[in-house]
């Protein structure tokens, strides 16, 4: 299936499919006419005598330097070479593919002035699985994600490096292996390729998609935890949440009610339970994770708009070729900070449920650390400590990046967004959260099994069976590290969610 992008109308679901998939992506063919009109205007400007930034001038602080028309191609090639200054590990293939797709969307608005040939090469790279090697560090999120996008573009001119068919090759060889040829960049085309927020936006979207799946898992796993400690479902009553009115909270409570419907464990202690209220980590799960869902949806609104935006500079308008500042990634930086807060809080309340289940003073008669022979065995003691370490790490990572700025390029770029690393930190935060939720799942399933012969609901039993297919119950102590990875993987790939066969809230901007 070919994913066809319509600039201005591409939604989150399609972007997530591109991020998770490996298939071809192309621009809607209706984009070609406005793209070629803009390219013609740039060509005319390049042949004229008036100074036009990035067409016949230098860049940044060097914008006052005029460039001869004979040197136009050299100017654009040098721009790409000089800006390939990123460092650090290479971005994963899924992120780079999404970044290329976002660049297609931006160019497809018909305001960048590139030839259709440039767009066709990007489409060809996606179709053939040519993935440029893009170091993740080096962008401050203003004047575009210059270094990451330059590394992407270098492959297009036959330089840099790319992964194709399991091999890392020099750019020209990678293109040749895929039956593609390099492009010679024309006026403004190099600048159009590296100005823009596509690296930051792709990283933020990746964090959003993974974070949303983690939040859905948090609803599921918290229901298992509730039955493990024989908690109450009274706080899930719809009237409570309707009186407050927040969409995420209402949906979270409704999902949890459905998941727990038919639980014999819950029915067993409706009468005669001496406890009046459960701790907040059980009772306030809809309020906390629901609020995180609302926050992620607010960020999603921003990122969907940004994904469809023309963010290079200058832009080709009907009134002329105009310099502006759409490359400044402040909206993306704010969105990334919002997602980071949401991820940290989903993990924080989940970790408290882990702590609740392993503590015999709070778990309503579960054995210490969920082991049948405490003392001789430590059970899930250190798994809980690991969850605490990950929770704390995510709290530190959630500190805002958008409030930071530093002048660059000889003070020409004197305020920057820091969106790139603000978005990039979301991936390790999601990984930490997936491990926290995986540990909670292991504890909760073990706790529910201690309530036998009472059983939880059919939906939750299905999730338990999926976990137990890969991770057996913990009797005597054993090395748990690999099993924690398996449990986190079931969170990450949606295995537990799929096993339930129940609807979960959808991400919609």
| Cα-based torsion angle of the residue sequence 199, 200, 203, 204 in order, rounded to the nearest 10 degrees | -150
Q: How many residues does the chain have?
A: 509
For residues 83 and 59, the answer to whether their CB atoms sit within 8 Å is no
Tokens 């799946």 map to which residue? 213
Return the residue matching tokens 């740039």: 42
Structural tokens at position 355: 């702590």
Query: In whole angstroms, what is the distance from residue 386 CA to residue 383 CA?
Result: 5
- Two tokens, residue 202: 């792709």
Give me the residue label for tokens 């992964």. 163
Structure token digits, residue 181 = 């040829």
Q: What are phi and psi of 253, to 5 degrees?
A: -65, -40
Compute the distance between CA of residue 395 and CA of residue 399 in angstroms, rounded to an integer. Answer: 7
Q: What distance in Å separates the CA atoms of residue 135 and residue 156, rounded to the nearest whole number?
A: 16
Q: Which residues contact 396 (CB under 8 A, 6 or more apart)?
A: none
Reply yes or no on whether 53 is catalytic: yes
CA–CA distance, 292 with 196 (Å, rounded to integer): 28
Determine which one of 19, 53, 327, 369 is catalytic. Answer: 53
DSSP state of 377: B
Whole-number Cα distances in Å, 474 to 355, 377, 418, 450 = 17, 10, 45, 11
Contact in structure between 94 and 227 (CB atoms under 8 Å): no
Q: How far apart are CA 335 and CA 167, in angstroms?
A: 35
Nearest to 410 by CA among 58, 53, 61, 64: 61
Per-residue exposure over 298-327, b if at least 16 CB sit within 10 Å of its own CB, e if not: bbbebbbebbbbbbbbbbbeeeebeeeebb
What is the Cα–Cα distance from 396 to 465, expressed in whole angstroms?
35
Beta bridge partners of 377: 374
| b/e code 410-427 from CB counts within 10 Å (16+ = b) | eeebeebbbbbbbbbbbb
Give the active site residues.
53
């Amino acid at each position: 299936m070919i994913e066809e992008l319509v600039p201005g109308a591409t939604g989150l679901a399609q972007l997530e499919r591109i991020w998770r998939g490996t298939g071809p992506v192309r621009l809607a063919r209706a984009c070609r006419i406005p793209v070629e009109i803009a390219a013609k205007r740039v060509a005319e400007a390049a042949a004229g005598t008036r100074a036009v930034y990035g067409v016949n001038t230098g860049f940044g602080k060097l914008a006052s330097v005029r460039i001869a028309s004979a040197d136009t191609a050299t100017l654009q090639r040098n721009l790409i070479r000089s800006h390939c200054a990123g460092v650090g590990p290479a971005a994963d293939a899924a992120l780079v593919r999404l970044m290329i797709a976002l660049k297609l969307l931006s160019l497809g608005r018909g305001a960048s002035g590139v030839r259709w040939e440039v767009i066709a090469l990007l489409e060809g790279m996606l179709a053939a699985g040519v993935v440029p090697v893009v170091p993740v560090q080096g962008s401050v999120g203003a004047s575009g994600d210059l270094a990451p996008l330059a590394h992407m573009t270098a492959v297009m001119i036959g330089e840099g490096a790319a992964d194709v068919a399991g091999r890392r090759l020099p750019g020209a060889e990678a293109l040749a292996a895929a039956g593609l040829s390099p492009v010679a960049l024309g006026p403004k085309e190099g600048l159009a390729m590296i100005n823009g927020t596509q690296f930051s936006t792709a990283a933020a979207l990746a964090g959003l998609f993974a974070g949303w799946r983690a939040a859905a898992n948090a609803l599921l796993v918290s229901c298992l935890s509730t039955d493990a400690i024989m908690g109450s479902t009274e706080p899930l009553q719809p009237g409570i949440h309707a009186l407050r009115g927040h969409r995420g909270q209402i949906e979270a409570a409704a999902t949890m009610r459905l998941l727990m419907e038919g639980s014999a464990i819950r029915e067993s202690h409706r009468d005669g339970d001496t406890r009046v209220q459960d701790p907040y980590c059980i009772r306030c799960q809809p309020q906390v994770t629901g609020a995180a869902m609302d926050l992620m949806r607010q960020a999603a609104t921003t990122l969907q708009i940004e994904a469809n935006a023309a963010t290079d500079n200058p832009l080709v308008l009907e009134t002329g070729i105009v310099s502006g500042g759409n490359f400044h990634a402040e909206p993306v930086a704010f969105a990334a900070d919002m997602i980071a807060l949401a991820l940290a809080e989903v993990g924080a309340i989940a970790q408290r449920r882990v702590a609740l289940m392993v503590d015999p003073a709070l778990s309503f008669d579960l054995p210490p650390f969920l082991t049948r022979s405490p003392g001789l065995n430590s059970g899930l003691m250190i798994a809980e400590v690991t969850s605490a370490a990950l929770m704390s790490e995510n709290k530190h990572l959630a500190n805002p990046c958008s409030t930071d700025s530093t002048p660059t390029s000889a003070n020409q770029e004197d305020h920057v967004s820091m969106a790139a690393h603000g978005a990039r930190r979301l991936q390790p935060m999601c990984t930490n959260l997936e491990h926290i939720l995986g540990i909670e799942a292991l504890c909760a399933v073990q706790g529910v099994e201690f309530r036998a012969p009472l059983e939880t609901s059919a939906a939750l039993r299905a999730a338990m069976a999926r976990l137990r297919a890969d991770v057996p119950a913990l009797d005597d102590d054993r090395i748990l590290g690999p099993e924690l990875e398996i449990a986190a993987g079931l969170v990450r790939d949606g295995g537990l969610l799929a096993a339930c066969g129940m609807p979960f809230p959808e991400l919609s901007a």
